[in-house]
A and B are shown apart, each in its own frame.
Chain A
Amino acid sequence: MKLRRITGTDSLQPPNETTGGAMKTQILYIARKTTKTLVAVLTMAAGLYAQGSSTQQSLILRVMELNKIGLIGGSLKLTIDKLHAELFAPAPVVNANTTLLWTSNGENKKITVASNNNNSRYALRVAPQEMSPGAGVAAPEVSFSDNKNHDFIVGVNRSAGKCVIKFSAAADVAKGIGSDTHVVTFTITSS
């Protein structure tokens, strides 16, 4: 029994006949061979493309509008316990131990201040000082007489900054002794 070698080109062996159909068979053979070669080249090209040495990744970096505000320094106490020698009245006291910080990448923002105590016995005022350059504009000193928001810093545009918060408290003799408690809130908001 003769074992037949099976290969992928068996069907493309050049024909040996020399009969009348030999020319046609030869043309058919060449066409098949050319097609086979073309397929091989295209397959190789596709393989090389798939084995590229670069790859890509799409990345979108979005920055949303954000506004941050914070305080350094906790609760504070202002105590009026001295007499003004010339005025014969209790001497005002000042506290500048608290720092306000803010960051905003938005435009036309401002920082307001408000107290929750709208019926205080003694005067309490607040003002920014030692402002970061270019981070905003200090508003006039605010005297708390209600619980509404008052401008504290205006003109905040795409900036990060800080300032010292100066609290001043004063008392008339007629007000006697006692205490007020305020919860002071700073807010960054649209102008």
Chain B
Amino acid sequence: MLESLHHLGYIHRLISHHFCQLIVGLRKILAIELLTLALVLGGVAKGQTYGTDFHRVTVQVSQVTVVLVSLGTVNLSISGANAVAGQNTMTVTDLSTSFLWGTNVSQRKVTAQTNLAAPLFTLKVLAVNPTQGSAAPEVTLSTTAQDFLINIGKSSGTTQLLYTGVALASQGTGADAHTVTFTVTVQ
């Protein structure tokens, strides 16, 4: 009985020893396989380039100037609310629209003019809160371009358009239809 127990213990140790050797052996085989695969893949990747070619890419930036107004039409109306008893002058203002620009050229300014050669009433425009450049003094619009915004060179920005319509009681009633043109030009 005692010999049988010793025999069983021997068999157990023998099996455990061989099992451990088997695991170590499998690990070695797996490591070798992975190394071989890496070498093969590396060789394939390196050997995939069969030639090169090139072309020249030139980026050229030309003079670009873009301008726009936030709204195409403005209506100004002088009515009873804009008049004071005893005063001949009546005014109305509008600050609802903006002028936007972008230019990559230095030494630039913005001018303003109207197409209406003989208006009944006076129309003025002023740049309010420009993000770049300096507002010129309030412009009384005529068919001659006048400075509206100066020193804007190489910038993009916006400014509010403050229109002021002025009429005298002695001028009576009526309407003026202006096309106001804003132009970025050389300063």
Contacts and interface: CB of A to CB of B under 8 A. Distances in A.
Contacts of A68: 80, 83-86
B121 A59 contact: no
Contacts of B170: 105, 158-160
Contacts of A65: 173
Contacts of A160: 85-88, 169-170
A66 B123 contact: no
B43 interface: no
Contact of B180 (A1, A50, A59, A64): A59
Contacts of B73: 57-60
Interface stretch (B1-9, B15-23, B29-37, B48-56): B48-56
Given A103-B169, A106-B173, A160-B169, A58 B181 contact: no
Interface in A1-49: 1-3, 5, 7
A56 B141 CA distance: 13
A191 B18 CA distance: 129
Contacts of A103: 83-88, 90, 169
A173 interface: no
B178 A59 contact: yes
A101 interface: yes
Interface string B73-101: 11111111011111110101000010100
Given A2-B51, A105-B167, A158-B172, A63 B67 contact: no
Contact of A105 (B65, B172, B181): B172
A97 B87 CA distance: 20
B179 to A, nearest CB: 5
B110 to A, nearest CB: 9
Interface string A102-134: 111111000000000000000000000000000
Give the interface size bracket for B toward A: 35 or more
Contact of A55 (B51, B68, B169): B68
A58 B74 contact: yes
A187 interface: no
B66 to A, nearest CB: 5
A70 interface: yes
B36 to A, nearest CB: 24
Contacts of A59: 73-76, 123, 163, 177-180
B77 to A, nearest CB: 5
Contacts of A70: 84-86
Interface of A: 1-3, 5, 7, 50-70, 101-107, 158-162
- The 10 A-B pairs with the shortest beta carbon distances in the complex, nearest first, are A101-B86, A70-B85, A68-B85, A160-B88, A53-B65, A101-B85, A53-B184, A54-B183, A61-B165, A105-B169
